Chains A and B, each alone.
Chain A
Amino acid sequence: MRRALWLLPVLWMSCTSEPRPRPPGVLFVSVEQQSAWVRNFNPLFAGAGSRWPTRAGIHECMEVFTPSTGQWVPWLATGHAWSEDRKTLRFTLREGVRWSDGRPFTAEDVAYTFTLLKKHPALDAGGVWRFVSEVRAEGPHTVAFHFSRIYIPGFAELAHQPLVPRHVWEKVADPVTFTNPEPVATGPFTEVRVFRNQVYELGRNPHYWQPGKPAVDALRFLAFPTNDQANLALVEGEVDWAGNFVPAVDRTFVSKDPQHHARWFPLFGSTVFLYPNTTLPPLDDVRVRKALSMAIDRERLVDIAMYGYTRPADSTALNDSYTGWRDAEAAKGAWVRHDLAAANQLLDEAGLKRGPDGMRLLADGQRMEFQIEVVGGWSDWVRAGQVLVRDLRKAGIHANLKTYEFGAWNARLQKGEFQLSIAWSLDGPTPYTFYKWLVSKNTVRPVGEVAAANWHRFGDAEADALLTRFETEASPEAQKELMAAVQRRFSETAPAIPLFPNPSWGEANSRRFTGFPSAANPYARLSPHAEPDSLLVLTTLAPREP
């Protein structure tokens, strides 16, 4: 015992050293939460747990959509054109682009990438080959996509596809399981300088096509297994750019250094819904769905569940990246506003009478009771569920919150074996994807079969007709008109109950770097999770002059 004591002061002395200064020009990013990094830079297989900048940072795509401006930014392609019959789409590729090994980037590489998707359907996450029949390089800088049917929304899938070099991937035995440990790519950061289990660093691409860019020398990623650890590092100034959910962010982070610490949580995330299983009575009745919706006090909901970071959803359910698409009339729907009297009236009309205890009964006299399902531990949604339970009770609706472990919750949701469930929705560059998975008959799967979305199993022929016309419509005005009609149809049929759009979490520390996007300079989303916007951020950021 006595001998062990002298160790303590020695330990203390060795532990009080100053934190080492961080290398200038190295941007510290916190995006993925991992306990240890696994080396994987495969950009093609979306199912792969590839490291964050792989799909937009190491590899690049032809054009970049930025929801914050609603614009397509030319990237590896300088432009595109549809043929007269809208069955051929030609991209003009940028000249002078080279892969990080110095070889030129050509139309052959683009065509080859898409051939890989055809050969390995597991790589075709966008389902490109459902509407494309042939991809051909028509010259070193022109690539033509021939469509099997007119499908205008397919443009987004093609423009956003990460591209790989033919001369490297030709030699890869299985592109699905290839981990691409030494990526050859066109992006701003392609050199893996350090790769260890707790840290990795990506250096500049020596042949990057934008002269003088990137101004940042390297990206460094530290492994933070939990939100708490990531937030602690952010507050301490050890991270320059992050996309974490931070509770009470203004107090815990921004106020520590208001000049440099910034957060921007625009409502560009997917809308969160309370999904009613529309195969079950009485949830198959639009009056009941609207009544449930009107019983909810969304103002209180966003305050309690989301720290006031978002706003109540309107009756189009669109998030703010679709502001240009929103139809004013469809957004006026009263069924998303808190109105207990109207909710009660709708329930009465639907024949759901109150029992002796004031709670509503089903048509056959049985007690009406719903189970709201959420993932245990997803605290924001659990709180939202608690608010919902209380609000619904005020309209005489019995609801119980039930938490499940993620796998179980998800299996019930996807198979349609639930009554009410809180879940996300699907996004795309236009509201087409969003509504397709909310109202299209084509996305309805039988109960018991796994569905990627449309978990509520709702299909509307009228909305479907509009969406189908949208697929073949190239004129922006006509597209807008069709989408307005879809929105009105959504508001009429209320297939699912929108709660609030999710914020896209983004925090920046500009002490060492400048050029982060913000509400005043919204050239991209601040969230590093927002791909491929992050390409714009990575090429705009610059180290602060000392």
Chain B
Amino acid sequence: MNYVLRRLGFYLLAAWASLTLNFVIPRLAPGDPASAMFARFEGRIQPEAMEALRAAFGFTNAPLHLQYLTYMRHLFSGDLGMSYAYYPSRVSDVIGTGLVWTLGLAGCAVIFSFALGSLLGVLAAWNRGGWMDSALAPALALLGAFPYFWLAMLALYLFGFGLGWFPLRHAYSHDLEPALSFAFAADVAKHAVLPAASIVVATLGGWMLSMRNTMVATLGTDTLRLAHAKGLPPRQVMLRYAARNALLPNVTGFGMALGFVLSGSLLTEIVFSYPGTGYLLILAVRNQDYPLMQGLFLVITLAVLAANFAVDLVCLWLDPRTRAHA
């Protein structure tokens, strides 16, 4: 329990540090959001109206430490402010338009890729030198080495445009009303296939290789020799003894990957016009939309920390040694 509390304290500290960086970094960028805002009008606004506009957007020249206090106070009251780019919509509403889709698509893809990749890694190591080990692993690693953007475009072109098997864009058909029905679910699934598959293909090789390598090392240990000697069924030895021990590095990596789901699916969303948060992020940066940027960073930060905390707990369960130290 003590260990869990210590970890929790660490994560709170990390959260504070990243929120502070979140405040500082956008303000180090050149230019100011007000002038970027004016430029977006391309002359539709007379300079006389500019001061009023600044006031409307809440641009202030207040000293940094006061801005920082305001920022923290708003954060704790759950007020993320108004987006400049989508003014006068609230940042929470803007993020809300995309969060569920990004979480659904990239979250599922990452979980699936992790599970499948790890399983393939286990099998490849167990049947060392077999076709999985000698052909599949390098092939997947090669696919993963292609630039993701190119891979996704290729998938879109071949299976969407060329063969017409999958829709070209969006998370569901535009003439369907979102509903808890089988038809809608099938439609969402159909739209998710290409973007999800492209993420899986791009990342599968990494999971498989790291799992395979740790597994190979684990297979040579005394524990495994003992398990064999006890006469346990090979399947049980492979999964309960070898895989469980070899899983630790992958689980740690999985925590990181889960956390970056929100920002990492940026390219997927651009290629497949998927209405997620990744594209919002690039838009926020382009428009120097501090409130939206900070709102997104906040969500991403918290997701990374939460995922890592969860991973810590899983490691605790997987690896008795962490418990012994606690």
* Known contacts A15-B190, A452-B43, A452-B45: A232-B168 contact under CB 8 Å: yes
CA of A406 to CA of B288, assembled, Å: 9
Interface members, chain A 2-55 (any B CB < 8 Å):
11-12, 14-16, 20, 22-23, 35-40, 42, 45-49
- Answer whether residue A456 sits at the interface, using C-beta atoms and an 8 A cutoff: no
A38 to B98, CA, bound (A): 11
Establish whether residues A121 and B49, one from each chain, have CB atoms under 8 Å apart when the complex forms.
yes
Question: Interface readout for B34-69 with A: 1 if CB under 8 Å, 0 if not?
Answer: 111111011111111111110111000000000000
The answer on a CB contact under 8 Å between A40 and B270 is: no
Mark the stretch among B83-91, B199-207, B231-239, B312-320 that contacts chain A: B83-91
Which residue on chain A has the smallest CB distance to residue B82? A177
> Given A40-B89, A229-B273 in contact, is the A127-B49 Cβ separation under 8 Å?
yes
Q: Is the CB of A47 within 8 A of B53?
A: yes
Q: Is B269 located at the chain interface by the 8 A CB criterion?
A: yes
Q: Which chain B positions have C-beta within 8 A of A130?
A: 46, 48
Bitwise, A126-166 to B at CB < 8 A (1) or not (0) is 11001000000000000000000000000000000000000
Interface residues on A, range: 35 or more
Partner of A38, one of B94, B164, B270: B94
Binds B, one of A216-224, A347-355, A387-395: A216-224
B35 contacts A414, CB within 8 Å?
Answer: yes
B52 contacts which of A124, A407, A413 (Cβ < 8 Å)?
Answer: A124
- Given known A47-B37, A407-B31, contact A179–B89 (CB-CB < 8 A): yes
* Chain A, residue nearest B57 (CB): A47
Q: Is the CB of A12 within 8 A of B56?
A: no
Q: Which residue of chain A lies nearest to B38 when distances are taken between CB atoms in the complex?
A: A452
Contact A414 B89 (CB under 8 A): no
- Name the A residues within 8 Å of B169 (CB-CB): 222, 224, 229, 233
Q: Taking CB as reference atom, which chain A residue is nearest B159?
A: A15
Interface stretch, picked from B7-15, B246-254, B278-286, is B278-286
CB atoms of A49 and B55 under 8 A apart: no
- Whether A38 pairs with B52 at a CB distance below 8 angstroms is no
Complex: A9 Cα to B279 Cα, angstroms: 32
Q: Which residue of B has the minimal Cβ distance to A127?
A: B46
Complex interface: chain A residues within 8 A of B82 (CB): 177
B289 to nearest A CB, angstroms? 10
> In the complex, what's the smallest C-beta–C-beta distance from A410 to chain B, in angstroms?
4
A49-B85, A130-B48 known; A122-B55 Cβ under 8 A: yes
Contacts of B97 in A (CB 8 A): 36-38, 197
The distance in angstroms between the C-alpha atoms of A120 and B53, with both chains bound, is: 10
Shortest distance in angstroms between B60's beta carbon and chain A's nearest beta carbon?
A: 15
Is B222 an interface residue, CB under 8 A from the partner?
no
Interface residues in B93-120 (C-beta closer than 8 Å to A):
93-94, 97-98, 101
Does B276 sit within 8 A of A, measured CB to CB? Answer: yes
* B30 contacts A by Cβ under 8 Å: yes
A46 to B57 Cα, complex, angstroms = 12
**How many Å from the CB of A132 to the closest CB on chain B?**
13
Are A407 and B288 closer than 8 Å at their CB atoms? yes
Chain A min CB distance to B90 (Å): 9
Residues of B within 8 A of A424 (CB): 42-43
Interface positions of A from 402 to 438, Cβ below 8 Å from B: 405-408, 410-411, 413-415, 424-427, 433, 437
Stretch at the interface among B71-79, B170-178, B297-305: B170-178
* Cα separation A222 to B174 with both chains bound (whole Å): 7
Cβ of A304 under 8 Å from chain B: no
Residues of B within 8 Å of A46, CB to CB, are 41, 44-45
A81 at the binding interface (Cβ < 8 Å): no
CB 8 Å contact bits of A155-196 with B (1 = contact, 0 = none): 000000000000000000000111100000000000000001
Is A410's CB under 8 angstroms from B86's CB? no
Q: How many angstroms between the C-alpha atoms of A270 and B274 in the bound complex?
A: 33
State the CA gap A509–B200 with chains docked (Å).
38
Give the most central of B48, B123, B161: most A CB within 10 Å. Answer: B48
Q: Given that A35-B98, A40-B89, A452-B45 are contacting pairs, would A196 and B165 also be in contact in the complex, using a CB cutoff of 8 Å? A: no
Residue of A12, A38, A124 with most chain B CB atoms under a 10 A cut-off:
A38
In the complex, A425→B44 CA distance in Å?
11
Could you say which of B29, B49, B270 contacts A125, with CB atoms under 8 Å apart?
A: B49
Residue A199 is within 8 A (CB to CB) of chain B in the complex:
yes
A411 touches B32 (CB 8 A): yes
Q: A15-B190, A40-B86, A197-B97 are in contact. Are A426 and B43 (CB under 8 A)?
A: yes
Interface: A226 (CB within 8 A): yes
A233 CB contacts on chain B under 8 angstroms = 168-169
| Nearest CB in chain B to that of A200: its residue | B174
B275 within 8 A of A: yes
Chain A residue at minimal CB-CB distance from B178? A196
User: In whole angstroms, what is the CA distance A196 to B175 when docked?
Assistant: 11
Chain A residues with CB below 8 A from B36, complex form: 406-407, 410-411
Nearest A residue to B197 via CB reads A11
On whether the beta carbons of B49 and A437 are closer than 8 Å, the reply is: no
B193 CB within 8 Å of chain A = yes
A115 shortest CB reach to chain B, Å: 16
In the assembled complex, the CB of A247 is this many whole angstroms from the nearest CB of chain B, namely 16
| B118 CB to nearest chain A CB (Å) | 13
The reply to whether the CB of B241 lies closer than 8 angstroms to some CB of chain A is: no
Q: Tell me the nearest residue of chain A to B194, going by C-beta.
A: A15
Bound-complex Cα distance A450 to B31 (A): 11
- Assembled-state Cα–Cα distance A411/B36 (Å): 7
Please encode chain A, from 46 to 75, with 1 for each CB lying within 8 Å of some chain B CB and 0 for all others: 111100000000000000000000000000
Contacts of A443 in B (CB 8 A): 47
Cα of A405 to Cα of B270 in the assembled complex, Å:
19
A35 contacts which of B56, B93, B280 (Cβ < 8 Å)? B280
Known: A15-B190, A424-B42. A127 touches B48 (CB 8 A): yes
State in angstroms the CA–CA spacing of A121 and B57 once bound together. Answer: 12
Distance in angstroms between the alpha carbons of A443 and B178 in the assembled complex: 52
- The residues of B that contact A199 with a CB separation of less than 8 Å are 174
**Whole-angstrom distance between the alpha carbons of A7 and B276 in the complex?**
27
Q: Which B residues from 152 to 187 make CB contacts under 8 A with A?
A: 161, 164-166, 168-175, 178, 186
In contact, B270 and A12 (Cβ under 8 angstroms):
no
Q: Does the CB pair B273–A224 fall under 8 Å?
A: yes
What's the least CB distance linking B171 to chain A, in Å?
7
Instruction: Indicate if the CB atoms of A414 and B43 lie closer than 8 Å.
Output: no
**Which residues on A are within 8 Å of B, measured CB to CB?**
1, 11-12, 14-16, 20, 22-23, 35-40, 42, 45-49, 120-122, 124-127, 130, 176-179, 196-199, 220, 222-226, 229, 232-233, 236, 270, 405-408, 410-411, 413-415, 424-427, 433, 437, 443, 450-453
Which 5 residue pairs are nearest across A and B when measured between Cβ atoms? A411-B31, A121-B52, A127-B46, A426-B43, A35-B279
New contact pairs (11) apart from A222-B174, A225-B273, CB-CB < 8 Å: A15-B165, A47-B41, A48-B88, A121-B51, A124-B52, A226-B273, A229-B273, A424-B43, A450-B38, A452-B43, A452-B46
27 pairs across A/B with beta carbons < 8 Å? A14-B190, A35-B269, A35-B274, A38-B94, A38-B97, A40-B86, A45-B88, A46-B45, A47-B53, A121-B51, A121-B52, A125-B49, A127-B46, A177-B88, A197-B275, A198-B170, A222-B169, A232-B161, A406-B39, A407-B31, A407-B35, A410-B36, A411-B32, A425-B43, A426-B43, A437-B43, A451-B47
